[in-house]
Every structure is written in structure tokens, then in C-alpha cells.
Amino acid sequence: MSRTRGTHLTHWGAFHAETDGVRLTSVTPYVDDPEPNELIHNVASAQHHPTRIDRPYVRLGWLRRGPGSAPRRGAEPFVPLDWDRVLDLLAAELRRVYDHHGGQAVFGGSYGWASAGRFHHALGQLHRFLNCLGGYVRSVGTYSYGASEVLLPHVVGGFDEVLSNATSWDSIATHTDLVVAFGGISAKNAMMSSGGVARHQLRSRLAQARARGTRFVSISPIRDDTPDEANAEWIAPRPGTDTALMLAVAHVLISENLVDHGFVERYCTGYPEFAADVLAKGRTPEWAERITEVPAHRIRVLARQMATGRTLITVSWSLQRARHGEQPLWLAVVLAAMLGQIGLPGGGFGHGYGSTAYPGERSAAVHLPSLPQGRNPISTFIPVARIADMLLNPGGEYEFNGERLSYPDIRLVYWCGGNPFHHHQDLARLRRAFTRPETIVVHEPFWTSTARHADIVLPTTMTIERDDFGMGNADPLLLAMPALTAPVGLSRNDYTIFSQLADRLGVHTAFTEGRDAMEWLTHLYEEWRDGLGGDNSGIPRFAEFWSAGAVALPPKPPHRVLFDAFRADPEQNPLRTPSGRIEIHSATIASFGYEDCPGHPDWLETAELQAGESSRAERYPLHLLANQPKSRLHSQFDVGDHSRSTKIRDREPLRMHPADAARRGLAEGDIVRVFNDIGSCLAAVRLSELVRPAVVQLSTGAWYDPDPADPRLCRHGNPNVLIADLPTSTLSQACSGGHTKVEVERFTGPLPELTVLAPPPIALLDKPSGKAADPVNSRHRTD
């Protein structure tokens, strides 16, 4: 490879790199990025890490005994095989499962961010391939905002409209007097966007709004959930109590006659039922103070401030990732409606400012092309966060969004471009669930926990090792992504792997349509460009684009305002709700009869907050927040230098208030055991007054490193071993992994060695017999 310099795009930023064809020799931020992200430095350092998968591997037990449930899956060594043999084995297994059980026995959920590129998108590649074979069971929704995806269509008629048409930052800076940010506006999360970010701008957006007079109130247990540029007032309720605080604000608006009755009568339905319930149940600031520990006087002042100017109420995605997570989001809409400001410039509500890069930004006015996936003849699906339930309970019935469904009997799991051992909760339970299928196939560049719990592991290229193009939804810049280095080891891209499998299974033409990867890139681009018609002015042909390296696309119009057309004429522009209006009370949701999600928002107490001498809250007095990390995207490149630089003795840092640490005799850097009745993990203390007392914060994304004797213990610091695998509610069945209750104590035993920083044990084949020999340590294997 002769290329010596190039530009590349990741979900967390674009960068320039110099390369010798084997590795990246230097990485610098994208020249037009005003707030570059340090995460770009994880890419080069991770590329040749010892955990990089160098060739195909098959689990020893599967190779010896064939497909079947495997209690030792995740604990056995792997056998290296050549590509032809492993593809023959996998093709035969796919043929067996489809012939005997059909596509309804294959789970192709493959949830994950994977590549920022448009063509080499692992999930899309997998789904196209499986559709050629007869389809697959899919997952719906996301771990990030699964509750929102189900709730918002009932309340305001859609979810995508709220995210993609969020009131712009320009409108906020020009018109907004007060931003009330439940869950804050996190700078670290705003560095990310699905598909990439070329220009990070959140800090400058906040500074601009503040300079023009916008005030910010950050409501979060963590002070730095909103950047210093906002100069925000900090209100720190107990985690999980935002709903109570919002209900108390509603009570003040009602009792002090601050409600815009004209708005709720014309644009909403169900307000009288909601208001009567708030008053009847006494949701006063004094009631809320007992739950939230926010002074009643401050709640009253906040309510009055919200009613005296142009107010934007925003809720982070984190708030709905909890038991009853639908309630605070629903209440944000209700409060904005009571203020009468939905559809006004700079007012109303928003969801996700600071949760990702794109809310409020000017994305492209045109959609980019993607690989067609074909038709899936299998209608069976599961909510994405119910994967363990599905594998452990085939045939079991459950409720979801008004439907009664049953879990399929999955024989084969095919996973590409994701790591459920990062996203999911109660990892010991997930580990048990992963023993149930007959075969698990994983495409991965690294030995993540998911790869270690597979039967067939196929090494895939990183994005810097293949040609692609991409653009995020935060800025309208399409970037060419030519390969910067050769692939590591024998790794191949997903398209090549599926093409070779398709050839063995008789669907090569259907899958490839006779094109190689570069021909697909050209075809997708040119077909997309031609389809724009008159809108393609200024967009070059593919060859010119590829040579230039980037093209600016037309942005959406400026000064967007969420639901402005609806406000202008609700009869001509009704919402896609049953009433055509904002549903403060939803008759549809009420008809489902779910106790954990009634017909309008209310306070629903959880076991985490119930007091009592023998309660869980008393046994585990610290409230742990499992938020997104600063040093990586989810668990991606946790072995990268930047990610590892934030750890202490290779353990994930646990932020803790000094008073809570002193009470337990802990000091900065101490290794501690974080535990509850679900699991435990090792972490390292980092003292900080930026977290509220009685709260500890441990980021997700440390690669799960279970103790061989007890998979409920993660030696690396993954907080998901501590969080119950429970849904937000029956309505959405979404992830509730945002927080839990724990206790922390000094770890006094010998610090165990981590296994996730090296490959798993490898067993070499006895070449004369072709049988697997005794396992040998991976560090001493021969190629």
C-alpha cells in the first residue's frame, strides 16, 4: 500500500492520519473540527493490540462435538482454522439450521454501532445475507432510547421527528431565556454521532447561547453533566427521582394558575385527567422534597422561572434508561404543553441535547445511500433489550406495546459489529443465556467478551483497513474513507466473508449482484446522486468525489423549531396520534392496563428508592450511575491507549464524593469491590466533589472480565454485572440499565490478573489426525 496520508471518519470524529501501509504512524484531528475529540487516538493504538483476532477460530467443544447447548461456552479454548475450512463448517451449519428449523430459529439482531461507513455496515451486511437464506428473527428498538421510541409515538405521534427536527441551537441562542436540562447536556456524549462527526460544536453552542442571555439549569446528580460554558445552576436530586420533581413543578403551575389553558385546550387531550390526579394525590413541592431531597422552595422558584419566559425543557436519553423511564420524558412534554410553548422558537421540549451530537445541528437535507437489505420473510421480533429473556425462555409469552408476543426458539445466533456484553445488564445471566443456542457466530476485529462466548469467530477488518464513505447526522459533510493500511493478520471485511459463504450456499448472485466492494461503493453513490435529480447540483461523480476526499452536501434549512407547523394549524397539520393532538393522557396506553405505565405520567416508586430497615436501599446505600464513558464510545477500543490512560492499575475508575470515601476509609486510587445482591466488580476510587453525596459513578464499557469461579464478579470494572435485567416497563420492554444501588468496600485480596488484555487460550490441531490437541496458552501458540 503506497498511500502515506489520508482522512478517516469514526462515530466520534474525523481525523487525518499518516500511515506506512501497516499501521498509522500519526493521527491528528480533522482540520475543520473546532472541538476535536481525543478518542481518535484509540484507533491507531488498538489496531495491533494483542487482543486483535488474527485468523478464524472455532471453539474446541463445538469442533469436537458439533452444535448444541454448551455450558462451557466462554470458558473453553479456541482452535485456529484456515478460511476455507471454517467457511465450509459454517455454511454446513447454516444449511442445517435453515433446512430443519427455518429462519425463525436464527437470530440476526446484531445490535451495535460498528463501522461509521455506509457500505461496510456490519448489521446491514448481515441482514442482507440472512435474507438471502430465508430471513431471521430481528430486534427492534435501541438500548440508548428504547423507551422513548415506544412512548413518543403515543404522545406526540413519532420519535424520529423529535430527534431529527429538534429545535436548532441557533433558535435557542436567539430566543430561549431558560433551558431546564433534566439529565444535563453532556459534552462527552455530544462528541458522538451514528455515522460520524466532522465538526464538534456543543461547547461553542452553549457559550454562544449563554453570551446572548440564555440561562441554564442542569438537573443531575453529576455537576459536570453540563459543561462549564453553560455556567449552569446545578440542582442535584437523588437519582431516579426526576419524575417526582417534575410532578411538583406541574402542581405549582396548576395551583398558581400558571398554565396556558388556551394551549392545552386547543393542542392537547387529557389535561383535565392529569391535572386532577396531580392535585388529588398531593404532588406538592413538599412531597417531592422528601423523595428528591431538592428543597421545596427551589422547586417552586424553578416552576415560576419556567413560566415567566421562553423555556426549553430537555431530557437526556439517560433518564429513560431506568425503571419507569417513560415517565420523566412524558412529563417533559406535559410541562412544555402546560407552559404553552411547544412550537415556539426556542421553547417547548427536546430530547437528547448532549446525548449525541446531532440534536439541534444542521444535518444534510438529503439522505445517504446504504446497502439494500432485501425482504425478511420472518415477522418474529424481540425488543432489543430482551435477548437474555428470549434465549432463556423459548416459547415464553410477554407483553409489548399492547401486543401479546412469544419468544422464538433460537438455534443459531449470528452477531456482527456489536458487543451485547457491553450493552446488556446482569452479565452473569446473559452469560447463562449464551450457553443455550446450538451455535453462536461472531464477526469481530477484537477478542471482546462476545467473541469469547462464541463458537465460530471470524476476524474482520477495522474501518481503516477497507474502502468506504460516510457521513454522520450532525453535519452535512460526506467523506471518502479509503483504506489507510493493509488488514491485520488474515482478517477480511464482512462483505467478502458473506460473499464467500453465499457462494457455498448457492445465493452468491442474489447477495453480490455481481459486484465487488468498490463496485458497490460506486454503484450506491451514483444511484443515489442520480436519484437526487435537480438536487444533485454541485455533487460530483464518484471518481471525482473519491479523489477529492470530501463533498459538502446541502444542509437542512436553519432555525428549525420542533412542531412549529402543528402549532400554526393543528387541523391542517395534525400529529400522528389517535387524537391528532398531544396526548397528555393516552387512552391507548390506558387501555393496555399496564400497572407500570398508566394512561398519563405519574410517580411510580421502585425498589431502589423504597425505605425500610431491611430494604435494598438500606443494604446498599450508594446510588451507582452507569453512564457513558469519556474515554471511548461504549466499549469500542477499550484496549486503546486513550481508554487505558484513564484507568488505575487497569481498573475502571469509580468517581466518589470525598465524604462517602472517608466514611468507608477509602483514598484516591484505592482498589475497591463494588457490590450488591446481583453481582460485584473491582474498580479504582477517584475522589470528586462533582458527584452528589451518596452517589458513585462508574462508566460502562470496560470489557467484561468474569472471575472463572464466579461470573457475577467482573475483575475489570463493568457496572452491568450490578444491574438487574429488568425492562423499563411492560409498554416498551426497554433497557433500564442507567443506575442501581450498591455498597463499596476496600478490596484487600491479591489483585487478580486481567484476562481481557490478551487473547483467550488457544488449542492447536494435531495435524496428522486433524483432531484438536490439548489447549496451550495463547501467548505461546505457533501460527
Instruction: Name the packing angle between helices 242-255 and 326-339 (round to 10°).
Output: 20
111 has catalytic annotation: yes
Is-contact 498 388, C-beta < 8 A? no
CA distances for 87 relative to 37, 410, 579, 661, angstroms: 39, 21, 54, 53
Kindly state the DSSP code that residue 90 receives in the 8-state scheme: H
For residues 509 and 527, what is the distance between their CA atoms, to the nearest angstrom?
A: 20
Kindly state the DSSP code that residue 319 receives in the 8-state scheme: G
Report the relative pairing of strands 762-766 and 706-707 from DSSP bridges.
Answer: unpaired
Angle value at C-alpha 748, between 745 and 751, nearest 5 degrees: 110
CA distances for 486 relative to 80, 177, 460, 468, angstroms: 21, 53, 12, 14
Residue of 111, 287, 414, 495 marked active site: 111
Backbone angles phi, psi at 119, to 5 degrees: -90, -50
Closest CA to 365 of 560, 156, 120, 119: 560
Q: What is the DSSP string of 658-681?
A: HHHHHHTT--TT-EEEEE-SS-EE
Strand order in the sheet with 348-351: 233-235, 215-219, 178-182, 311-315, 348-351
Task: Give the list of residues 6+ apart from residue 185 with CB closer than 8 angstroms, or none.
Answer: 179, 202, 206, 216, 218, 225, 226, 227, 230, 314, 316, 353, 354
CA distances for 261 relative to 257, 266, 349, 538, angstroms: 9, 9, 18, 49
- Secondary structure element (H or E) that encloses residue 247, with its range: helix 242-255
3-state secondary structure of 518: helix
All cell numbers assigned to 318: 439517560
- Residue ranges of alpha helices (H) inside 256-384 are 261-267, 271-280, 285-292, 296-307, 326-339
CA distances for 523 relative to 126, 518, 536, angstroms: 20, 9, 16
Beta bridge partners, 707, equal 710
Residue of 30, 57, 62, 113 marked active site: 113
3-state secondary structure of 256: coil
Q: Spell 16-46 as b/e; 16+ CB within 10 A means b.
A: ebebeeebbeebebbeebebbbebbbbbbbb
Residue 768: CB atoms within 10 Å: 6
3-state secondary structure of 591: helix
113 has catalytic annotation: yes
Please identify every residue annotated as catalytic.
111, 113
